[in-house]
Amino acid sequence: MDDEKTRTIKSMYWNQILGSFSSGLASPFVPYFAASIKFNSEEMGALQASQNLFPNVMQYPWGKLSDRLNNRVFFIIFGGVISSLMFIAFIYAKSPLLFISVVIIQSIFGAMVSPAWNALVGDISLPSKRASFIGKLSFYSNLAMLFAGVVFLVYTIIYKTTSVSIYYLPFSVAGIIGVLASVLMLYAKDEKKFRSREKSGLFSILRKDKGFSYFMESQLFYNFFMSISWPLLFITTVDILKASFFQVAMLNLLGLLTTVPFITMFGKIIDKTGTKWLMVISRFMFVPVPIVYAFANSIYDLYFLNIFSGIGQAIANVAFIAYILDASPKEDRGKYVGIYNMLIGIVTFFGSMLGGILGLYIGLFNTYMISFAGRLSGSFLFFKIKEKRVYPQVFSMGMFGGILRKR
């Protein structure tokens, strides 16, 4: 491995560690901050919808521009700096309209990072070890978020208050560390230049790549019904179960405790057996979420749910991006990642808006049931997904469990 590539990889690891620590101090708590300043169901739906739409819908134009300019690193740095500074701006945004406006600004610039980052991952990794590399990056990312969760938990114990001001210090620190994480990518270097295929636009890619198109259809259906319940989860946690700041921090922490240990393991499994069946498993693992929230009597019900779903999150962290990078040619990686996140953002925007409205007019329970039914039916769509490259072993689901066959 040459010195430039080694330096790039080290920069990426440090970016993930510090950037994820920054994000872990603030991102999981933004909706709870909103709930604490008395957002209603409809306003929470608008907030969640904005967080779904703008950071995703902007990824296609940013990804396309990144491909055209043959540049990944600049987009990662600039987008990371601006979006990190918005954590500090949250402190001063006290009205719903102003708060959502800051979220949108953060989302637009944050959208610069993901397609460029994932394209860079694809550029510097060998296909045979790509999922393992993604798994390692995700491991350090989630480990840093876990540490941030512990820090926030200890902070809530020391800073004994029921005031919304408890969020001010973590949000400020998150902004400063996020900027530092982005600046460290100055030590990274883009891979060899390549010529972007100008004619391979959104509709051209979806029309010609049938396998990727079906994958997208399955994900869009599933994510629409998954997002219907998202704005209600925070209302159930804060308003119905009356969770304290400590309990909110514990919820985030427990999910990460089961995500972190499994990420690298699933990365290694995917490199050998492929992405399909682990994607199927991860989809079914998120089906019970709205049911548990609908019937939750105490915060402990949510604790157990987060421990369980953390494993599904570990799979999702590796499997979906590995599939997209398998599907995309090098010159179009930014576009593929952008297309994926843009379309997911659009459907989850409408799903979250609908969920907030339904929660207001037909109640939380009925809305949770709609989300459950959609998640369950959407999970079965993933059985027909086909791998985008040949893996060393085939993992097939038989009647009596998984079967591994060497090629």
pLDDT digits (tens, 9 = 90+) for 125-182: 888 889 999 999 999 999 999 999 889 888 888 887 667 788 889 999 999 999 999 9
Cα–Cα distances (Å) from 188 to 66, 74, 139, 201, 396, in that order, read 16, 10, 20, 28, 40
Q: Which helix or strand (DSSP H or E) is residue 398 part of?
A: strand 393-398
Q: Which phi and psi angles does 406 have, rounded to 5°?
A: -75, 145
Cα–Cα distances (Å) from 190 to 9, 69, 73, 124, 277, in that order, read 11, 11, 6, 9, 33
Strand partners, 398: 401
pLDDT for position 157: 84
Amino acid at 123: D
pLDDT for position 108: 92
Q: Which residue has the tokens 């069946």?
A: 277
pLDDT for position 399: 39
pLDDT for position 212: 93
What gap in Å lies between CA 390 and CA 405, rounded to an integer?
Answer: 13
pLDDT for position 197: 52
| Burial of 210 per CB tally in 10 Å (0-12, 13-18, 19+) | exposed
What gap in Å lies between CA 154 and CA 251, rounded to an integer?
Answer: 14
What gap in Å lies between CA 119 and CA 140, rounded to an integer?
Answer: 19
Cβ contact 15:185 at 8 Å: yes
Q: Which residue has the tokens 């608008």?
A: 46
Strand partners, 394: 405
Alpha-carbon dihedral sign for residues 263, 306, 289, 21:
negative
What are the structure tokens assigned to 193, written together? Answer: 């230049």
Q: pTM score, two decimals?
A: 0.80
What's the DSSP call for residue 28?
A: G
CA 95 remoteness from chain centre: 26
Question: How many residues appear in the chain?
Answer: 407
What gap in Å lies between CA 113 and CA 79, rounded to an integer?
Answer: 6
Q: Which residue has the tokens 């494993």?
A: 311
| Burial of 74 per CB tally in 10 Å (0-12, 13-18, 19+) | middle
What gap in Å lies between CA 32 and CA 27, rounded to an integer?
Answer: 10
What gap in Å lies between CA 42 and CA 282, rounded to an integer?
Answer: 29
Cβ contact 267:318 at 8 Å: yes
Strand, coil or helix: 22: helix
Cβ contact 171:26 at 8 Å: yes
Which residue positions in the chain have pLDDT lower than 70? Answer: 1, 161-162, 192-200, 394-407
How many Cβ atoms sit within 10 Å of the Cβ of residue 403? 10
What gap in Å lies between CA 26 and CA 102, rounded to an integer?
Answer: 14
∠ CA 309-312-315, rounded to 5°: 155
pLDDT for position 313: 94
What gap in Å lies between CA 148 and CA 167, rounded to an integer?
Answer: 13
Q: Which of 311, 188, 294 is nearest to 241 (CA)?
A: 294
pLDDT for position 407: 45
